[in-house]
Structures are given as C-alpha cells and as structure tokens.
Amino acid sequence: MNTQNKKPLTILGIESSCDETAASVVHRNLDGTGTILSNIVLSQDAAHAPYGGVVPEIAARAHVTQMDNVVARALREASLDWDDIDAVAATAGPGLIGGVIVGLMTAKAIALVRGLPLIAVNHLEGHALTARLTAGVAFPYLLLLVSGGHTQLQIVEGVGRYRRLGTTIDDALGEAFDKTAKLLGLGFPGGAAVERAAATGNPNRFALPRPLLGRQDCNFSFSGLKTALRNAAHGLGSLSEPDIADLCAGFQSAAADCIEDRARRAMDAFREHHPDHATPVIVVAGGVAANATVRATLERLAGESGFTLHCPPQQLCTDNAAMIAWAGAEHLALGDTDSLDAMPRARWPLDPDAEPAPGAGVKA
C-alpha cells in the first residue's frame, strides 16, 4: 500500500533480532522531526554470558517470555494507550530467525486486533535512519554500519534507497571483538570488555595485520586479524593482565586503521556519486559505533576529508526499538505499509542489487 500520510505519526516499534527484547514509542512530526517517547531495552547478557556468546534458542525463549511486558511498559512510559498509536513496526530481519519471528508475530497480532497498519522493518535500515531521528540528517549521506553481524559502507539516498560501496568478506567487526574477548577470557559482551582492557595497553607491542589496507575497493576483512591475535596469544602461553591489555590495544588499533582506510575510500566514492553535495555527512551506526577509539579515528578522518561526522547517542547505537519505530514512521509517512503475511528473514540486504563481494557469501 502506498498513500502518503499528511499528519503527525505515533509509532510503536518492536525489536527482537538478537538478544535484546525491546519496544519503543516514537512520534514523527509533520516537519519530519522526531521525538522518542519511550525506549525499553531488556538485555539478556546474563543469560548468554556463561556461553561466551548469544545462544539463539535461549534468546528466542526469552523474547517469548518478556515481549508482552516490554510492549506494555513502552506504552506506559510514553503515557499513551492503544488509541494513540497510528501503526506498529517490527524488525522482520535480518537476524536470528527465532527472535525475529517472535517480534514480528507480536506486531502482527497487535496490528490485527487493533486495526493498525503494519510496517515490517529491515533491522539494518533502523540503524541507517537513526541519525535522521537524532540529528535530522538530510539525504544523501554516507553510512558506516559496524555491528556484530555486519560491517558495511552504504550511500543512503532515501528511505529504502541504498547503494552499497563495501561489505565484510568474512567476519563483521563486532563479531571479531566478541571472539577476541572470548579468546582472552574477558567475558560477554565482548566489545566493551576489549575496549576497557585496551585502555591500559600498548598498541604497538604486537605486529598485527591490517587486512585489505590500501585496496582500491571499500570491502573489509577481519578474519586474518582475529587469527593473528590468536596466534600471538597462544605464543605467549600463560597470559598476564599486561599481555591481555596489549593484545586488546593492538587489536583495537588495527581495527581502527582498517576502518579509517576503508572509510576514506568510501568518502571518495561518495563524492564521485554526489559531486555537487557541498556539505557531505558520514553517519556511524551499529554497536561498534560506541567504541571511543573508532569514533575518535572517524572524527579525525571526517575533519581531514571535509565531512561532518554524526554518531547517534550510545544507547541508540546498540540494538533498540526506537530505531525500528522511527524507520516505521519514515515508511508510513511515505504511505509504505506491509500486509499481515510479511515474512521474517534471516538475511535481508539493504542494497539487493549490489554485486556479491568475493568470498562474502551470505554476509554480503
């Protein structure tokens, strides 16, 4: 269905693609600005910590148990009832399919019972559009999406309109952070643990590689970096706290160098596609965007390259339902809704027309 809406919109958003059970209410004004009325995120970290990573079955069962309460809390904290909601949006992929099904089915039930429009949201688009909610960033802009499942560079040209410049050909950066933390016994979630350990480390002690550095494309690779770190750790035998700090600092520094090199090339590509754009913007989104070293690297690069850097607040970098509600509002404002037979998807690329990246497989 496509009939543009000409009124303010209040959207309930639901997110369950991984291990956060989340619901949010977001208001979109006629001028395109937005306000977060509530944003509830129930973490499952304690349930997954003993396993050093997310266990899909545990995550799905937790979503089933908690989703109704989280949705009710989101409405309550927004001081709204069902009559105030214009539509319900839910993550329909990509993600762990069991969790995606829980959130999407909950949204379908609400839409059916309450007679509300349904918007099936691409989780990656939620991240991609968050800067429009928090900073009113205008199209087009360059997006660096760095999360546990994806590391991509995209040109965001409009709602539902993406041009992929580069993607990971093996591990996502967030995944590499988590696996590094697990290898070094730092616990789960891994990104914050590695960053804390790196704060007292020497980033130059170990000669870790910078995969794909200097390549003409905008793709990423972190598998070789992860393997080199593992070999360095195993070569030390028993690891002391300074050893762990130095390994983490070296890993983080190498990752930041890779991000800088790839992003620099993407900035050049953005200018080629949009040569008349006088005030280019790069948006950094996804859980790894919370990493201070990555942010500082990109702030410096943006300043050198004539770009403005926008990064959402930390609580909106990791998975949340406010970004899903906002993406739903952006689509609804254009009259885009989905039928109740919308399908959950384990994989859902932002740019379905992009050429497959060599070796990337389903992660492209």
- Please tell me whether residues 304 and 336 are part of one structural domain: no
Q: How many other C-beta atoms lie within 10 A of the C-beta of residue 305?
A: 16
Q: How do residues 54-76 score in pLDDT, each as one tens digit?
A: 888 899 999 999 999 999 999 99
| Domain final residue pick, 273, 293, 315 | 315
**Tokens 């992009």 correspond to what residue?**
354
- Please tell me whether residues 145 and 283 are part of one structural domain: yes
Question: How many domains are contained in the chain?
Answer: 2
| pLDDT band at residue 4 using 50, 70 and 90 as cut-offs | low
Q: Distance between CA 362 and CA 364 in Å, rounded?
A: 5
Residue 3 has pLDDT above 60, yes or no: no
- Please tell me whether residues 143 and 75 are part of one structural domain: no
Residues 6 or more apart in contact with residue 364 via CB below 8 angstroms:
167, 349, 354, 356, 357
CB 218 within 8 A of CB 208: no
- Please tell me whether residues 228 and 307 are part of one structural domain: yes
Q: Which residue has the higher pLDDT, 303 or 356?
A: 303
Task: Specify the pLDDT at position 210.
Answer: 97
- Domain presence at residue 65: yes
pTM attached to this predicted model = 0.93
- Residues 215-239 have a mean pLDDT of 95
- Domain presence at residue 217: yes
Task: Specify the pLDDT at position 360.
Answer: 60
Structure tokens at 248: 């983490």
- Please tell me whether residues 169 and 69 are part of one structural domain: no
- Please tell me whether residues 160 and 267 are part of one structural domain: yes
Nearest to 147 by CA among 280, 274, 36, 15: 15
Task: Specify the pLDDT at position 183.
Answer: 94
Task: Specify the pLDDT at position 294.
Answer: 93
Q: Distance between CA 202 and CA 22 in Å, rounded?
A: 38
**% residues pLDDT > 90 (the chain):** 85
- Domain presence at residue 1: no
- Domain presence at residue 362: no
Task: Specify the pLDDT at position 355.
Answer: 86
User: Residue 321: helix, strand or coil by DSSP?
Assistant: coil
CB 121 within 8 A of CB 328: yes
| pLDDT band at residue 43 using 50, 70 and 90 as cut-offs | confident
CB 198 within 8 A of CB 249: yes
Structure tokens at 55: 């266990």
Q: How do residues 328-357 score in pLDDT, each as one tens digit?
A: 999 999 999 999 999 999 999 999 999 887
- Domain presence at residue 268: yes
Q: Is the dihedral of CA 195, 198, 203, 208 positive or negative?
A: negative
Q: Is the dihedral of CA 242, 246, 247, 252 positive or negative?
A: positive
- Residues 285-294 have a mean pLDDT of 91
- Please tell me whether residues 242 and 336 are part of one structural domain: no
Task: Specify the pLDDT at position 219.
Answer: 96
- Domain presence at residue 360: no
- Please tell me whether residues 22 and 167 are part of one structural domain: no
- Please tell me whether residues 194 and 289 are part of one structural domain: yes
User: What letter represents residue 61's amino acid?
Assistant: R
CB-facing half-sphere around the CA of 13: CA atoms within 13 A: 35
Q: What does each C-alpha distance from 147 to 176, 207, 289, 291 come to in angstroms?
A: 10, 25, 8, 11
Residues 6 or more apart in contact with residue 47 via CB below 8 angstroms:
19, 55, 58, 59, 62
Strand 118-122, strand 87-93: pairing: parallel
Residue 267 is inside which H or E element, if any? Answer: helix 241-273
Phi, psi of 357 (to 5 degrees): -80, 135
- Domain presence at residue 153: yes
- Please tell me whether residues 229 and 175 are part of one structural domain: yes
| pLDDT band at residue 2 using 50, 70 and 90 as cut-offs | low
**% residues pLDDT > 70 (the chain):** 97
| pLDDT band at residue 361 using 50, 70 and 90 as cut-offs | low
Q: What does each C-alpha distance from 323 to 173, 247, 360 come to in angstroms?
A: 21, 34, 27
Structural domain boundaries, residue 80: 9-133+316-348
Q: Distance between CA 286 and CA 350 in Å, rounded?
A: 14
State the SS3 of 141-174: EEEEEECCCCEEEEEEEECCEEEEEEEECCCCHH
Residue 39 has pLDDT above 90, yes or no: yes
User: Residue 2: helix, strand or coil by DSSP?
Assistant: strand
Structure tokens at 61: 């069962």
Q: How many other C-beta atoms lie within 10 A of the C-beta of residue 347?
A: 12
- Domain presence at residue 361: no
Structure tokens at 300: 């410096």
Q: Give me the CATH number covering residue 309.
A: 3.30.420.40
Strand 87-93, strand 34-43: pairing: unpaired
Q: How do residues 77-123 score in pLDDT, each as one tens digit?
A: 999 999 999 999 999 999 999 999 999 999 999 999 999 999 999 99
- Please tell me whether residues 214 and 310 are part of one structural domain: yes
- Residues 251-264 have a mean pLDDT of 97
Task: Specify the pLDDT at position 5.
Answer: 64
CB 222 within 8 A of CB 176: yes
**Tokens 């990791």 correspond to what residue?**
318
- Please tell me whether residues 300 and 329 are part of one structural domain: no
